[in-house]
Amino acid sequence: MSDIQSPAESTPSSDGPAQTMRALQFSEYGPPRDVIREVRIPVPAPGPDEVLVRVKAAGLNPYDWHFYRGDPYLVRLTTGLRQHRKPRVAGADFSGTVARVGANVTQFSIGDHVFGEQDQGGAVAEFVAVAAEKVAVMPQSASFEEAAAVPMGALTATAALRKSGRLESGQSVLVNGASGGVGVFAVQLARAWGATRVVGVCSGPNSELVLSLGADAVIDYTRENYWEREETFDLMVDTQHSQPLRLSLKAIRPGGTYALVGGGGGKLMGPGGPMMRALAQGIVRRHRVAGVMAKPSGADLATVAKLIDDGTVTVPIEAAYDWGDAAAAFERLESNRVSGKLVIRI
Ligand SMILES: NC(=O)c1ccc[n+]([C@@H]2O[C@H](COP(=O)([O-])OP(=O)(O)OC[C@H]3O[C@@H](n4cnc5c(N)ncnc54)[C@H](OP(=O)(O)O)[C@@H]3O)[C@@H](O)[C@H]2O)c1
């Protein structure tokens, strides 16, 4: 991956010969510098319910490294035990312009600025084909880099707060991992959707960021245990699962909800392990325990886009990388230390 060049512009044509594009692809499992390769492959042909997007920027998520590392092994049940059954293009989140629309697509036109999540992979490429229902028009005020940084983080925060968390106006919310890709949106969306008190758990250097997003207070996890405070919360959104469920539940009022997003877990099950344990234990306790399963949704992205345009939600980006520095971007992604989001310019 060290000799990645800037991608040449390619133009899809419906009647000409098959066009090709540059993409970052993998078929083996392993570290990014070993397994992710620049390839030239055909521009995907959008199906009748899909749009083809010329990608301008790709946003990164831990989801991406789970696939190229095959870690946890649970992932390999769907992708292949020793190597990927078929090569996969890296990345899920993207922003760009619509280059072609499928026959059944009426809500988008060629040239529209859009963003979305292709959960089958494919965002770190010149073009991505994706179901139109997973796409929304970009916030007018956002750059391509900002828009690409939104989808999975904001959709997961939406699922954690509204679907799993059943957040109601006037409630209090504790976000563990508040400075991460999901946490930065959970803090802001909790506030936007009526939480009267939002507290973020993060390390000292990230406190300023989390407070700037609207948190009332932060708990520096290197100095204080969030479960030992007197204060309890209606809802805890846990993106890190840094503590066993029995401790986290101490931070939630009786009848309140614990929404487990991810983090923790071993090589076999990854976050799926703690999630299943948490769900099993939740049955016998005085709290609601919910596992968050976020899905791509253009409708939910459109809601977030409005909140970005009216200034309620901002998009914190730690760094934007050029195509040739993608390996460094993926290595940083794996650190579990990213503040906000990472983006690759396409
Ligand atoms: N269930 C779903 O549908 C779903 C969807 C998306 C993501 N996920 C999962 O959710 C998890 C979080 O995703 P993400 O995008 O937010 O990850 P991320 O951006 O990589 O998270 C990094 C952040 O976590 C913070 N952090 C690390 N250890 C911490 C600790 N012990 N306590 C509090 N904060 C800590 C880091 O801050 P410091 O450097 O200050 O420690 C950093 O800001 C991942 O496991 C991901 O796979 C699940």
Q: Is 89 helix (H, G, I), strand (E, B) or coil?
A: strand
Q: Which of 156, 185, 276, 289 to mutate to test the pocket of ligand 1 (most atoms within 8 A of CB)?
A: 156
For the chain, the domain total comes to 2
Residue 166 gets the label, from left (phi > 0), alpha (psi -120 to 50) or beta, of left
State whether the beta carbon of 179 lies less than 6 angstroms from ligand 1: yes
Digit-coded pLDDT (tens) for 120-149? 999 999 999 999 999 999 999 999 999 999
Reply yes or no on whether the pLDDT at 180 is more than 60.
yes
CATH of the domain at 185: 3.40.50.720
**Same domain, residue pair 42 and 120:** yes
Atom of ligand 1 at shortest distance to CA of 242? 31
Axis-axis angle for helices 183-192, 298-309 (nearest 10): 70
Q: What is the CATH number of the domain that holds 36?
A: 3.90.180.10
Asked if residue 239 has its Cβ within 6 Å of ligand 1, the reply is yes
CA distance linking residue 12 with residue 23, whole number of Å? 15
Number of H helices, E strands in the chain: 11, 16
Hey, which of 69, 242, 337 would you mutate to test ligand 1's pocket, going by the most ligand atoms within 8 Å of its Cβ? 337
Crossing angle, helix 151-158 and helix 183-192, to 10 degrees?
A: 50
260 domain residue, yes or no: yes
Same domain flag for 226 and 145: no
Domain around 338? 20-150+315-345
Ligand 1 centroid distance, CA of 181 (Å): 7
* Whether residue 134 is found in the same domain as residue 190: no
Give, in degrees to the nearest 5, the angle at Cα 276 between 272 and 280: 170
Residues 169 and 131 in one domain: no
Task: Decide if 336 is inside a domain.
Answer: yes
Task: Say yes or no: 196 and 260 in one domain.
Answer: yes
Regarding whether 286 and 167 lie in a shared domain, the answer is: yes
Is 50 exceeded by the pLDDT of residue 5? no
13 occurs within a structural domain: no
Q: What is the pLDDT of residue 16?
A: 53
Express each pLDDT in 260-296 by its tens digit.
999 877 888 887 787 787 777 766 678 899 999 999 9
Q: Is residue 9 one of the residues assigned to a domain? A: no
Q: Do residues 255 and 126 both lie within one domain?
A: no
